[in-house]
Structure 1
């Protein structure tokens, strides 16, 4: 009997609890859950799109160029080469960089060989090269058993040879702003540099990127007058580009000065030798990324030399050849590094009711999604936002290859901060809803690039509940990794930088319903509304 009463009591308690919870649950958020009192629906809002092009003379100063230095951030990629693709701007991408000073390099270690056993060592400079490792992936083995590589992220036509010139940079690269040393310096992608002298061995040097360029064979000089062949490879046997430099010039300005004051410290060295300008040019070709981070991936100026050692032996009147030792001094690209992008106009007009987004070219778009009257109308309707998505469809007649379009786009907002000026700022969704914010390329059933979509529920909700009233246009651009990330080092960073080293472009359909129908650029709002 007691057991039955206990069970009955527990059952009644649970029922009361459920009823109480249901009442509370129905009251949450103004009784959102009570479907008899709320209706749901969707709104499709047209958006207005205006292009932003840094090459336009009337463009706002905020968009004149993308930032291209590594002074305030770690640059993930540097692009080199020429890329021309009809409907997009042509890009000639070059690299400017200081070199790292080595610790105590020497070019002789000579002792008078007057006594038995004493050694005389002679250093002979064999060749000077600029070594540029490609970004590549090992995909197996060739038929001869050698490693087989694929060049990664390469864009363009690899059959076209491209001129490549190496200049001694005459522009002093400083971390501090020359006009105001209290401020940090910056270099834009269109900065002009002084070419003090050409350093190529061959003034007509051209190249075509190849995954088969995995070695360099050179002639070594022994101080007794003989020579021999030697093979140079990377430690990981990956492909690399080799540009021979003028040995006599490099001997005069580098090799012979190792013990002079110009090489006594990093500051004096960077003032004496202000770095290299690695410049490509041409009407067409390929563009590819380089990593300047890490030992195995470093781009460097290599002085390839041979040490020949002699020894005086008992009973011998002259020195006797003892050994030869091949060696290298590598001066990696380090310190301040910049990219330079020389743009040429697109050769194919953008179709009407389309617009172009392109990374390093600085081609972006302003997207106006709401005006004051529409915002007030939505507020008056007292909508509760369940979801809000901003979608841009790809022109699939132009962009058929998923591998060459941007893999991700990005939106942010320019906020007027009064005396601080216009500040590019992350949307709240970018850091509050990182996993769902979006921007990634989505593919159609036939594996073509179809659309990019962003979830901006928090931003729209904040507008409707009055948390913010800032309806300035959103800015759409090619996503740049990692500088566009709203989370850096596990902390929120609301500021958006103007860096972009992604050269890819895509053609998108604008907001015209007449021209583009269901594939027009559109803001879709899913809502609940009290009846």
Structure 2
């Protein structure tokens, strides 16, 4: 069979793989198709691979598109407690309508929609399934006024650079404010949330227990004829807030403070969502949330003077009005981590010479894996062979015992990350295979780029994870060709990073609070580790993978697999 025939065959396989990859179960692509002796294709697994894990320390966590909220207890990694702080701004419709005379608050509630999808409608009632909720149980959630101003620009650089905030920022807690007995804003005052709104009916929230509910929101209002009007909306966090506080802070505010959002953000510095340890023993829960879609809704009445038709007398009415504040502006994801002894021990005993036996990957202030390919002289020797690379993979097997997911372990099974992200750690950017994969998934955008992969492969639907595989075919082709004439096709052997990801579509980076240097096992140079994929900062989960150490069983050890054909002349 000549090279053209082989190439045509692999084009067919690639097209087939694309459509197979769009299956909702994300099956292994081509596992039993490409082998050592099929169609003159050989497999090479002799390249040196060194992989070890590395702790991130505190990470930049401001202005993330999605943020965790809650407490999640992972038996492998420990407890992650995630709070949140956000600025707020006046809704544009309010800026053009000043608050009138003698305003009086009727009620205040906050609403932040969850990620959800409607699964059914029965007799007008919708059923929803929540997305990105980890664990179950009650939480202690307290909402305070944020008293610390979140700068756009960094004063330390003469206001020339964007301000960075980190997950362990102590200022938010130190400057938090709440309500006095009469609603006045005071340092360390009472929390602002005191009633939970669920399905239109207030429920006692005095014990601070809160759960993420998949119930649709039912709202009852009155029309001009004093008739009930029922509206329904998707599940959301809805809590009543202290109306005396918002009476004094907003409706009674000096007009200049509400004239524009620049003045308003300095006057009312936003909200602080604080998570506290829950002693109810009812489990732990964490949700991924888009707070930018949240609103504070103030219902109030004000005086309105109406002249009669003859213009001889005035009458006073009290129309109902609404003042909306959007949860927009600068934000910080506040994440605290209490690691297990095993996790701490693993991060303190990394082997940068032959690699670690186990690779611990965790989001937030967590850890990544650092991967180096090819020992001294190996890459040059492979380039001399002039192989035609058909496919190249890195396959990471899950250490299920360390994940405490084996049956009979006596420990609750942790929730596993759905996807890993492999990237160019040296240059802080995606690999070439990411850029060349145009596949999409309309109903689940997080599962785009399915050819590049990195999606968990399970033993059955929603079963325990077995492995993750990531294709680096184009990267390896360029590396072996070493095409220095085309800078868009980087042919440099770079250090590779592996991290958990909340979304494969987000490739921006976040800074580390304390950068470090990483020694290379095959050279005398080192790499600066000062950034982390931002989508990893958002993600609260982790996994344990088998690494590259010689002590790992051969069928589980991390290897680089290169499927190739010898370059021949076609006839």
TM-score w.r.t. the length of structure 1 is 0.71
Within 5 A, what are the aligned runs for 1:64-83? 64-65=58-59, 67-70=60-63, 75-83=64-72
Structure 1 residues 23 and 341: alpha-carbon distance in aligned structure 2, compared to 1, 3 A threshold: closer
Give the equivalent residue in structure 1 for 2:271. Answer: 276
Structure 1 residues 50 and 251: alpha-carbon distance in aligned structure 2, compared to 1, 3 A threshold: same
For residues 525 and 125 of structure 1, the distance between their equivalents in structure 2, rounded to whole angstroms, comes to: 68
Ranges in structure 1 where 5+ consecutive residues have no aligned partner: 1-21, 29-37, 56-63, 110-121, 221-228, 416-422, 487-494
The answer (yes or no) to whether the contact 2:383–2:481 under 8 Å persists in 1 is: yes
CA RMSD of aligned residues (A): 3.9
* 2:453 pairs with 1:438: yes
The answer (yes or no) to whether the contact 2:482–2:492 under 8 Å persists in 1 is: no
For residues 452 and 228 of structure 2, the distance between their equivalents in structure 1, rounded to whole angstroms, comes to: 51
* 2:160 pairs with 1:182: yes
Within 5 A, what are the aligned runs for 1:317-356? 325-346=319-340, 349=343, 353-356=357-360
For residues 218 and 542 of structure 2, the distance between their equivalents in structure 1, rounded to whole angstroms, comes to: 34
Question: What secondary structure does 1:212 align onto?
Answer: coil
The answer (yes or no) to whether the contact 1:361–1:503 under 8 Å persists in 2 is: no
Correspondent of 2:143 among 162, 166, 173:
166
Give the equivalent residue in structure 2 for 1:261. Answer: 256
Superimposed CA distance per residue, residues 70-107 of structure 1 (whole angstroms, 9 cap, x where no aligned partner)? 3xxxx442221111111124221222111112314544
TM-score w.r.t. the length of structure 2 is 0.66
Give the equivalent residue in structure 2 for 1:426. Answer: 430
For residues 412 and 247 of structure 1, the distance between their equivalents in structure 2, rounded to whole angstroms, comes to: 49
Give the equivalent residue in structure 2 for 1:406. Answer: 417
CA shift for structure 1 position 441? 1.9
Superimposed CA distance per residue, residues 434-463 of structure 1 (whole angstroms, 9 cap, x where no aligned partner)? 553221222335754222112212322333
The answer (yes or no) to whether the contact 1:387–1:526 under 8 Å persists in 2 is: yes
Give the equivalent residue in structure 1 for 2:127. Answer: 148
For residues 98 and 507 of structure 2, the distance between their equivalents in structure 1, rounded to whole angstroms, comes to: 45
Within 5 A, what are the aligned runs for 1:188-337? 188-194=166-172, 195-199=175-179, 200-201=191-192, 202=194, 205-212=208-215, 214-215=217-218, 236-257=232-253, 259-282=254-277, 285-293=284-292, 298-307=293-302, 325-337=319-331
The answer (yes or no) to whether the contact 2:507–2:533 under 8 Å persists in 1 is: no
For residues 525 and 246 of structure 1, the distance between their equivalents in structure 2, rounded to whole angstroms, comes to: 62
Give the equivalent residue in structure 2 for 1:54. Answer: 56
Superimposed CA distance per residue, residues 244-280 of structure 1 (whole angstroms, 9 cap, x where no aligned partner)? 33332322222201x4222222111111222111121
CA shift for structure 1 position 197? 0.8
For residues 93 and 23 of structure 1, the distance between their equivalents in structure 2, rounded to whole angstroms, comes to: 58
Question: What secondary structure does 2:95 align onto?
Answer: coil
The answer (yes or no) to whether the contact 1:155–1:287 under 8 Å persists in 2 is: yes
Give the equivalent residue in structure 2 for 1:471. Answer: 493
Give the equivalent residue in structure 2 for 1:90. Answer: 79
CA shift for structure 1 position 367? 1.3
Within 5 A, what are the aligned runs for 1:356-375? 356-375=360-379
The answer (yes or no) to whether the contact 1:87–1:347 under 8 Å persists in 2 is: no
The answer (yes or no) to whether the contact 2:54–2:367 under 8 Å persists in 1 is: yes
CA shift for structure 1 position 404? 3.6
CA shift for structure 1 position 408? 1.8
* 2:512 pairs with 1:509: no
The alignment of Structure 1 onto Structure 2 pairs a total of residues equal to 438
Question: What secondary structure does 2:217 align onto?
Answer: coil
* Structure number with bigger Rg: 1
Question: What secondary structure does 2:475 align onto?
Answer: helix
Ranges in structure 2 where 5+ consecutive residues have no aligned partner: 8-38, 180-190, 195-205, 347-355, 407-411, 440-450, 484-489, 509-530
Superimposed CA distance per residue, residues 187-229 of structure 1 (whole angstroms, 9 cap, x where no aligned partner)? 23333333331252447523122223734789x9xxxxxxxx9
CA shift for structure 1 position 131? 2.5
For residues 24 and 205 of structure 1, the distance between their equivalents in structure 2, rounded to whole angstroms, comes to: 69
For residues 229 and 377 of structure 2, the distance between their equivalents in structure 1, rounded to whole angstroms, comes to: 69
For residues 359 and 179 of structure 1, the distance between their equivalents in structure 2, rounded to whole angstroms, comes to: 29
CA shift for structure 1 position 339? 1.6
Structure 1 residues 23 and 392: alpha-carbon distance in aligned structure 2, compared to 1, 3 A threshold: closer
The answer (yes or no) to whether the contact 1:169–1:193 under 8 Å persists in 2 is: no
Question: What secondary structure does 1:372 align onto?
Answer: coil
The answer (yes or no) to whether the contact 2:421–2:504 under 8 Å persists in 1 is: no
CA shift for structure 1 position 176? 1.7
Superimposed CA distance per residue, residues 276-309 of structure 1 (whole angstroms, 9 cap, x where no aligned partner)? 111213255211122245xxxx312222224577
The answer (yes or no) to whether the contact 2:218–2:232 under 8 Å persists in 1 is: no
For residues 314 and 386 of structure 2, the distance between their equivalents in structure 1, rounded to whole angstroms, comes to: 98
Structure 1 residues 375 and 285: alpha-carbon distance in aligned structure 2, compared to 1, 3 A threshold: same
Question: What secondary structure does 1:183 align onto?
Answer: coil
The answer (yes or no) to whether the contact 2:146–2:271 under 8 Å persists in 1 is: yes
For residues 147 and 23 of structure 1, the distance between their equivalents in structure 2, rounded to whole angstroms, comes to: 59
The answer (yes or no) to whether the contact 1:90–1:345 under 8 Å persists in 2 is: yes
The answer (yes or no) to whether the contact 1:86–1:348 under 8 Å persists in 2 is: no
For residues 105 and 205 of structure 1, the distance between their equivalents in structure 2, rounded to whole angstroms, comes to: 36
Give the equivalent residue in structure 2 for 1:6. Answer: none
For residues 230 and 449 of structure 1, the distance between their equivalents in structure 2, rounded to whole angstroms, comes to: 54
Structure 1 residues 140 and 432: alpha-carbon distance in aligned structure 2, compared to 1, 3 A threshold: closer
Superimposed CA distance per residue, residues 145-173 of structure 1 (whole angstroms, 9 cap, x where no aligned partner)? 63322222210122xx2111222222222
CA shift for structure 1 position 513? 5.7
CA shift for structure 1 position 424? 0.8
